[in-house]
Amino acid sequence: MEKKPLIIGVSHHNTYGLVRCFGESGIKVDLILYDCSDSYIGYSKYVNDLWYNDTAEKAVEQAYELVNNKPSYYVILSSTDTVASLVDIRYEEFKDKCSFFNCGAIGKLTHFMDKEIQTIAAKRVGFAIPKTVSFNKGESTIMFDSFPCIIKPLASIDGGKRLLFCNSQNEIDRHIADFSDIEKILLQEYLVKDEEIVLLGVSYRGNIVIPGYIIKYRDVMGGTTYSCTAPSNHLDVSLLEKAKSFVCSLNYEGLFGIELIKSKENYYFIEINLRNDATTYSLAVAGVNLPLMYYNLCSGTNSIDETIFEVRTIFSIVEIVDFSNVVHRRIHFLEWFKQLRQAECRYYFSKEDKSPYQLAKKNYILTILKKLIRR
């Protein structure tokens, strides 16, 4: 029986990138979206069946009903930490009915979403780690002596992009209250970075490959919006071996993105995303389609032939989101437009799938106009 990709996510270019990875390879997907009742992604010609849900819990329950009715028919691809965790927590219910991102046991993937646990595992395989301490909700104070530093949620499902910078102990004491809704937070030394990269890969039954990586140039709210995609053979072999050993130690199967910061000629481990990374689509444009590779492995391909990897160096832009850097005058429009023209990968625009881009652009313009009117 031919399997079907089942993508679960929110209305975000991460989800649309997954849709395009399959659609541009000639495979239509089934799609479950949550936290919305309509989305530009739903108008893609690459979407076969589509469902909207209020919450992630309802989306995963719907996914279970689908895989329960058609066992061994679906390959689930999660584009958010929340979905990856919810499926993982129901590991026993899903494991015999479909393929999905997992660490081989119930709750294990969610366990490894804890950034403190990640850093311990990364340190074991030889990664350099920024100075880090954790803080439990309800504790009166926490002392830290490396400034500047970052405060962020310990678990990815609590908001991996949510963070604050502090330059003193007084600022830490003041800002701890901003995370009062989080059970456990992390204080981490802020590194003056020469470069920020994401190693993109797939792991399946002992096969772990990292064909390319992302060099981050610009972001919005922590999410990469302008970058360069390059082949991993540009990196030191020992760095890639550490990354593979790290993923292997988690017993993880699925797509992943390992975030690293280069500071003073050393690469420091920041975190691993145990789901589809939002930058994966750019690697597909550059030459290696990781979501399709995972799907093929789950569908019966026995191994990965690394000799066929041909990743080109290209520029990528999340054009609609990244334009806010022009709006906020972080970059001049002419420079931004030049970069847009040079970008071989555009996360929204597609000559073959025009409706999603047109709708997303229209919604963005309306949002900007509403903000201007309120002023």
Each residue of 191-208: pLDDT tens digit? 888 999 999 999 999 899
| Residue of higher predicted confidence among 48 and 146 | 48
Question: Is residue 179 in some structural domain?
Answer: yes
User: Do 170 and 201 belong to one domain?
Assistant: no
Q: What is the rounded distance in angstroms from the CA atom of residue 19 to the CA atom of residue 28?
A: 8
At 161, the pLDDT band (50, 70, 90 cuts) reads low
Question: Is residue 321 in some structural domain?
Answer: yes
At 146, the pLDDT band (50, 70, 90 cuts) reads confident
User: Do 169 and 56 belong to one domain?
Assistant: no
Question: Does residue 1 have a pLDDT over 80?
Answer: no
User: Do 206 and 334 belong to one domain?
Assistant: yes
Phi and psi at residue 188, to the nearest 5°: -135, 135
pLDDT digits (tens, 9 = 90+) for 36-94: 999 999 999 999 999 999 999 999 999 999 999 999 999 999 999 999 999 999 999 99
* End residue of a domain, out of 189, 214, 231: 189
Task: Tell me which residue range forms the domain holding 259.
Answer: 195-346
Q: Both ends of the chain: CA-CA distance in Å?
A: 57
Q: In 3D, which of 39, 32, 44, 42 has the Cα closest to residue 362?
A: 39
User: Do 339 and 262 belong to one domain?
Assistant: yes
Question: Is residue 352 in some structural domain?
Answer: no
Q: CATH number, domain at 268?
A: 3.30.470.20
Q: Percentage of the chain surpassing pLDDT 70?
A: 96
CA 41 vs CA 19, 45, 55, 71: distances in Å: 8, 9, 17, 26
User: Do 252 and 307 belong to one domain?
Assistant: yes
pLDDT digits (tens, 9 = 90+) for 305-363: 776 789 999 999 999 999 999 999 999 999 999 999 999 999 999 999 999 999 999 99
User: Do 338 and 208 belong to one domain?
Assistant: yes
User: Do 229 and 175 belong to one domain?
Assistant: no
User: Do 172 and 260 belong to one domain?
Assistant: no
User: Do 163 and 277 belong to one domain?
Assistant: no
User: Do 205 and 148 belong to one domain?
Assistant: no
Q: In 3D, which of 128, 117, 119 has the Cα closest to residue 263?
A: 128
Question: Is residue 271 in some structural domain?
Answer: yes
User: Do 215 and 316 belong to one domain?
Assistant: yes
Question: Is residue 76 in some structural domain?
Answer: yes
Question: Is residue 362 in some structural domain?
Answer: no
* End residue of a domain, out of 141, 159, 189: 189
CB 58 within 8 Å of CB 331? no
Question: Is residue 119 in some structural domain?
Answer: no
| Residue of higher predicted confidence among 139 and 70 | 70
Domain total for the chain?
Answer: 3
User: Do 46 and 148 belong to one domain?
Assistant: no
